[in-house]
Copies of this chain bind each other. A is one copy, B any other.
Amino acid sequence: MQVQVVENVLKLNDEIAAINRQTLRSAGVFTVDLIGAPGCGKTALIEATLQRLKGRLRCAVIVGDLATQRDADRMARYCDQVVQINTGKGCHLEANHVRQALSRIDLSRVDILFIENVGNLICPVGFDLGQDVKVGMFAVSGGDDKAAKHPFLVCESAVLLLSKTDLLPHIPFDLELFERDIRQLNPKVPLLRLSPVSGEGMDQWVQWLADQPAASSRTVPYPVSR
């Protein structure tokens, strides 16, 4: 009976996710589900991305946390459509959370929707939200073993990000081991090293976003002189 119930929960989630996907694609919105550990720098990355996309692509953000409004407040400085979802004890976003949040967003003014999932490398991978892509994010401060320990995220991601590279001089981190672990799990996934602090890799990340079909159909080519 337990298995049956779990299957039903996932089936209902998938049905709502399919509706979200139809809604978002009809509106020409490209949707990124950003998944990473607590403190890996998801909010900082989205803040920096919003600043770089300003005037090029119109953004909205849905952000999930157990508690507090802090991430939404941070990102609202750079984006006028930010919705915070507090999951209480919930360790991941589900499609119905996104469905509710979408009712508060004017999609006719959006090219890219960032969904910052609850800080967790595990459960968010298993729930379809209606996104176009899941993007897995690691930070050098989390150690070089985290890709190998989270194979499902590595396999499900359209692009992988290694952030906080500005800290590399202060932390032991074996970049070759990290990349080798990824290649064994997902040989072709792009891996971007980046740091919103130093700016490393941010051009490639923004270019990757701009290259995605739904986004590129609405915008001027990137990069442009800033």
Chain A interface residues toward B at CB < 8 A: 1-2, 5, 8-9, 37-40, 65-68, 70, 89-91, 118-123, 126, 139, 141-143, 145-146, 148-152, 164, 167, 170-171
Contacts and interface: CB of A to CB of B under 8 A. Distances in A.
B89 A122 contact: yes
A148 B2 contact: no
Nearest to A36: B38
Contacts of A122: 66, 89-91, 118, 120
Choose among A38, A118, A146, A149 the residue with the greatest number of B CB atoms under 10 Å from its CB.
A38
A164 B39 CA distance: 13
Contacts of A151: 66-67
Contacts of A67: 148-151
A85 to B, nearest CB: 13
A41 to B, nearest CB: 8
